[in-house]
A = this chain, B = another copy of it.
Amino acid sequence: MRRNHPAGRLPEPPSPIADDGDETHFCRTCAFSGACIAEGYGKPELVELHCLVEHVGPFHAGEHIFRTGDPFRSIFAVRAGTVKTSMVDPAGREQVLGFYLPGEVIGLNAIYPDQFPCDAVALDTAYFCRFSFPAMSALATRMPAVQQRLFRLISKELGMATLLAGDHNADVRMAAFLTDLAARYEERGFSGTRFHLSMSRGDIANYLRLAAETVSRVLSRFRQQGLIELEGREMVLRDPERLRAIGKNLLPQ
């Protein structure tokens, strides 16, 4: 069967990177930047927040940021690249928990068990800000905006996990996945209609609790229906509104 787009590769999408921070300013897209803005720049606490940050990386595709069972000491904000978190269930099957883009935070689910309950693997070259969690907690007790930010980050992640746990068919899951990804790219200032999928079909399938073959079939059908353009891992959303409508049952609001 012929592909329904003209010959030739799609143009390169912009590369998502959020590393515009320095010693005294956060990356604009960082999940913690709101804490600063809320308090006003220049406060002495801000300097402290920066002091407890450590820049780490690069991690290359396939490298672990942390592993299941590692003692929980830090959370990580993605500065550049994409991360997959996953756990291996007692039957030895991998379960993908999430994908994380620049500006997002990984490691929050380690607070309760006090050790990482999952692996985090770079899907492409990735850089991070590492925040010592004890230090951040201590800071949070003096800086209500930081505490608020942490509560909201965890609570938001809880909301996402809840939605994914719902009972939805393959089309809904796939459309919601694409819409969510697009919204997150857009939120961070990247294109919300044109992006690179850093993860394999198998990872997407696993994340959505589908078989890889089902993901292939749904994507093929979406392409036939003119909802998307897709060549390899280069994605163009041709009809974001219909995608949103299809996935609405699984989307917030």
Would A117 and B159 be within 8 Å (CB), given that A95-B167, A144-B138 are in contact?
A: yes
Say yes or no: B152 contacts A147, CB within 8 Å: no
- How many copies of the chain does the oligomer comprise? 2
Tell which of B90, B110, B117, B154 touches A249, judged by Cβ atoms closer than 8 Å. B90
Interface presence of A56 (CB below 8 A): no
Contacting residues, chain B, for A157 (C-beta < 8 A): 158
Q: Chain A interface residue count: which class?
A: 35 or more
Q: Specify the main secondary structure of chain A where it touches its partner.
A: helix
Interface presence of A137 (CB below 8 A): yes
CA of A150 to CA of B155, assembled, Å: 11
B-contacting residues, A65-119, CB 8 Å: 89-91, 93, 95, 97, 108-113, 117
Q: Can you give 18 A-B contacts (C-beta < 8 A)?
A: A89-B166, A93-B249, A97-B162, A108-B158, A109-B155, A109-B158, A109-B159, A112-B153, A112-B155, A112-B156, A140-B141, A141-B141, A158-B158, A158-B161, A161-B161, A164-B165, A165-B209, A167-B209
